[in-house]
Amino acid sequence: MNEQLLGKIEKLKDKREAVILAHNYQPGEIQDLADFTGDSLGLSIKASQTEAETIIFCGVRFMAETAAILSPEKTVLLPDKSAGCPLADMITAEQLRQLKKEHPDALVVCYVNSSAEVKAQSDYCCTSANAVEVVNSLPKDKRIIFIPDRHLGQFVAGRTGRDLILWPGYCHVHVVITEEDIKNAKAKYPDAIVMAHPECTEPVKELSDELLSTGQMLKFAAKSPAKRFIIATEIGIIHALKKQNPESEFYPASDRAICPNMKKITLDKIIGSLEDMQHKVTVPEKIRIRAKKSIDRMVEVLPSR
């Protein structure tokens, strides 16, 4: 059954001159058929470099929007138009305008998990892979507003020693991972290394050995002499970790860490997307130009790991 669907996708991809990009949290079968998989930063860079006419973005809306901002001449399709990111919706452009009024001299750094309108109102964009480097690149005498994820913000504040103005946003998937989950997993696998995403809560991060974006987790596992890892992030990454490191073992810190929006993409929806050129993700030109400035700065700053 899957073989038939995969054959159909290949034919349609040729017809549409399409490339399939998939985030590391996508269902395993989607990761396996994608031309490129990666974290938000890696996928943004791929989207800006590909020569394909059409990008099928297997991820959530802000990721497809970022691709559309970087490559307006391409057609960017999101196979399920309702695949959003609740964290990205936690601050509106209006709320950001208000916050800027309260701190008129501050620079604004927004996490890529945000809307195009919010990016257009920001000075710099970042992902979890380069948030520390982006903030470190800013003048020391400037105050910084960091939005919308407060857990990533606290991680960045700790690593940079900067007193950031935070917004109370959070990822509902990462905050379900508890301190207890980590303690239990460590008791069960005492020799395992704990890798956590910076969107996790502070007590979880304190108990972890490495705080990494999903792409950095893949790099770390490939280089590490360790063979057992506890993974505190969305469980989709475990498919990629196992595939790239078949000799190692990976244990999810919590089986409940599942992003329902990431799991909305299916093989059937990818076929529908390629057949009907649905659902086009576009950004009004005025917003796109402003948002691109902050995203260009994001893709220029390379992570140190």
Residues that bind ligand 13P (CB under 6 A): 24, 39-40, 113, 127-128, 171, 197, 199, 213-214
Write down the least CB distance from residue 182 to ligand 13P, Å: 18
Closest Cα partner for 112 from 258, 296, 304? 296
Write down the least CB distance from residue 63 to ligand SF4, Å: 8
- Distance in angstroms (rounded) separating the CA atoms of residues 8 and 268: 10
40 forms part of the interface with ligand SF4 (CB under 6 A)? no
Question: Which lies closer to ligand SF4 via its Cβ, residue 12 or residue 200?
Answer: 200
- Among 113, 122, 127, 208, indicate the residue that binds ligand SF4 (CB under 6 A): 113
For strands 107-111 and 124-126, give the pairing.
parallel
43 forms part of the interface with ligand SF4 (CB under 6 A)? no
- Among 262, 265, 267, 295, indicate the residue that binds ligand SF4 (CB under 6 A): 262
Write down the least CB distance from residue 171 to ligand 13P, Å: 5
Question: Which lies closer to ligand SF4 via its Cβ, residue 39 or residue 117?
Answer: 39
Task: Determine phi and psi for 252, rounding to 5 degrees.
Answer: -70, 135
Question: Which lies closer to ligand SF4 via its Cβ, residue 9 or residue 201?
Answer: 201
CA dihedral (209, 210, 214, 219) in degrees, to 10, reads -110
DSSP for residue 203: H
DSSP for residue 20: E
Helix ranges restricted to H, the chain: 2-16, 28-33, 40-49, 61-70, 93-102, 116-120, 131-136, 150-160, 179-188, 202-206, 214-223, 237-244, 267-276, 285-300
Write down the least CB distance from residue 180 to ligand 13P, Å: 21
87 forms part of the interface with ligand SF4 (CB under 6 A)? yes
Restricting to residues 52-71, which ones interact with ligand SF4 according to CB under 6 A?
A: 60
Q: What's the Cα-to-Cα distance from 18 to each of 11, 44, 47, 53, 236, rounded to whole Å?
A: 10, 16, 12, 6, 24
Write down the least CB distance from residue 172 to ligand 13P, Å: 10
Question: Which lies closer to ligand 13P via its Cβ, residue 12 or residue 235?
Answer: 235
Sign of CA dihedral 278, 262, 24, 243: negative
Write down the least CB distance from residue 84 to ligand 13P, Å: 11
- Among 131, 171, 185, 218, indicate the residue that binds ligand SF4 (CB under 6 A): 171
Which of ligand 13P, ligand SF4, none is residue 31 near (CB under 5 to 8 Å by kind)?
Answer: none
Could you tell me if residue 292 is left (phi over 0), alpha (psi between -120 and 50 degrees) or otherwise beta?
alpha
Question: Which lies closer to ligand SF4 via its Cβ, residue 52 or residue 171?
Answer: 171
User: Which residue type sits at 76?
Assistant: V
- Distance in angstroms (rounded) separating the CA atoms of residues 97 and 79: 32
Question: What does the binding site for ligand SF4 look like in residue numbers (CB under 6 A)?
Answer: 60, 85-87, 113, 171, 173, 234, 259, 261-262
